[in-house]
A and B are shown apart, each in its own frame.
Chain A
Amino acid sequence: MTFGGITAVKNFSFHIEPGEIVGLIGPNGAGKTTCFNMLTGFYAPSNGRVRFKGQDITNRKPHAIARLGLVRSFQKTSVMKRLTVFENVLTGHYMASRQSLLATFFPGEAVRRAEREARESAAAIVETMGLAQRMNAPAHLLSCGELRLLEVAVALAAKPSLLMLDEPAAGLNSHEAGTFGAVLKTLVGRSIDALLIVEHNMDLVMSVSDRIVVLNFGRKLVEGRPAEILENRQVAEAYLGKAAA
């Protein structure tokens, strides 16, 4: 992937197994978000292929990829600001209750049942993410941190099999990040099959990830278990700085 001469991601390969939480870290501008954008069809990679559940999804439209079960969040806070928290999450259930145009205009029992289920599920997800008190508050009234949680809730509502989160804990304080990490861990295996997380909060990444991939200047630097990464000299130099020292 290149932008007007700047190569953002080059020759990068990795894979995720079911049941796994993988952390993707790397210095600013290393290409993590770009990588997300390529995996989910927002950018078209100039080379290489993306395979998901055995299917080649390279160059597919973002919504088509989402429908296969690959759902992501965005680095820049992105929610539907004028809807309430509940409505945001309910909208997230779009895929589960898709229906034909005919059914839209002349709804039958099946449609009504799907609607009911979506509402119940939405309420449950809001609960899980700890936003129950804010259930009926319009999203624009939320503070930065709460918005991050809401984004994750919307993504979860889409019932992904692979969830990809881009800096979900940015804006949470150390304490809140800890709670959030615990929630994430319980999700894998229950609501979702696997999780790919980009995060600069080292405590969080190290505690939730089964495996960590480090990206630097658009290439893979190393890959390994959290403990191995922490010990890696290159990683310390490029990424961790004094924190490792």
Chain B
Amino acid sequence: MTLLSESPSPSAIAQAADAPVLAVEGLHVAYGSTAALHGVSLDVRAGETVALIGANGAGKSTILRAISGLLKARSGTIVWNGKSIANLPADRIVAAGIAHCPEERHVWPNMTVQENIALGAYLCRSREEVQRRIGMAFHRFPRLRERSRQMAGTLSGGEQQMLAIARALMSEPRLLMLDEPSLGLSPKMADEVFDVVRSVNGHGVTVLLVEQNIHNALGVASRAYVVKTGRITASRPSAELRGDPDLLRAYLGG
């Protein structure tokens, strides 16, 4: 395939529009001695919702982990709001307004649902404000209110997923990164989660999304990057991809 030659350079897109809030350039990341990303560049503009799509093991999650500081970049730059955040520790990056809801949920199993949610707002020091946000989370996910005193480790898979998303929202980030948010959710619940994403986005929060359910992903995102074996191979408006199943298949097939 010659996808690379077709794809416009990401920075070209960025220049056309207003300046990006998040700009990643030439990002190289490795697990131990295994390289996982080989020079990834992407931009996200303020208020945009962007999806990362690609086959299994392409490196989508790795990109998010590098941005949120869980992984150190070998080389490359990550600029957020005009400041470099590459290689800052994760907690500083959260403080800078980026929330990352990781793959596999990672709830705190021996804490109650309520405690899990409350800790999502760890950096917020005002008690009333935290209470307000907890109320908001329960409003978005009534199921969690029912289970507020249950230990998170005993929740069902889908319930844990809701909890992870609710927790990520608690820091009221400027950039929300979701890794496969619909994983393990029923179709109806997945719709509801994407409604939440839309409404959060509607309040001006920028969203970067990794999603396997392409239909849903392209439904919320305005634009998608295609990731393949540690590289970005294309960047397309959602509408274009949705209209062309063959192209999509070409991008997604492993």
Contacts and interface: CB of A to CB of B under 8 A. Distances in A.
A241 B154 contact: no
Interface residues of A, number: 36
Nearest to B159: A29
B157 A33 contact: yes
Interface stretch (A10-18, A54-62, A95-103, A169-177): A169-177
A145 B157 contact: no
B187 A202 contact: yes
Most chain A Cβ neighbours within 10 Å, of B58, B157, B190 = B157
Given A3-B154, A33-B156, A33-B157, A171 B187 contact: no
Contacts of A175: 55, 249, 252-253
Interface string A165-203: 001001111111000000000000000000000001110
Contact of B158 (A29, A144, A146, A243): A29
A76 interface: yes
Contacts, number: 108
Contact of B188 (A34, A144, A171, A239): A239
B9 interface: no
Contacts of A75: 157, 184
Contacts of A239: 186-188
B172 interface: no
A229 interface: no
Contacts of A32: 156
Nearest to A26: B186
Contacts of A240: 187-188
A143 interface: yes
A28 B214 contact: no
A50 B58 CA distance: 42
Contact of B214 (A3, A27, A171, A174): A174
Contact of B184 (A141, A142, A200): A200
A6 B146 CA distance: 10
Most chain B Cβ neighbours within 10 Å, of A32, A144, A201 = A144
Contacts of A27: 158, 186, 188-189
Interface string B157-176: 11101100000000000000
Contacts of B253: 175
B129 interface: no
Contact of B104 (A144, A167, A174, A243): A144
Given A146-B56, A174-B215, A29 B104 contact: no
A173 B212 contact: yes
A51 interface: no
A238 interface: yes
A176 B159 contact: no
A172 B56 CA distance: 7
Contact of B212 (A6, A77, A172, A202): A172
Contact of B56 (A29, A77, A173, A200): A173
Contacts of B192: 241
Interface string B236-254: 0000000000000100111
Q: Top 10 nearest A-B pairs by Cβ distance?
A: A28-B158, A241-B188, A145-B56, A143-B57, A173-B212, A29-B156, A175-B252, A243-B187, A241-B191, A75-B157
Interface of A: 3, 6, 25-29, 32-34, 75-77, 141-146, 167, 170-176, 200-202, 238-243
Given A77-B104, A171-B183, 4 more contacts: A25-B186, A28-B158, A28-B189, A34-B156
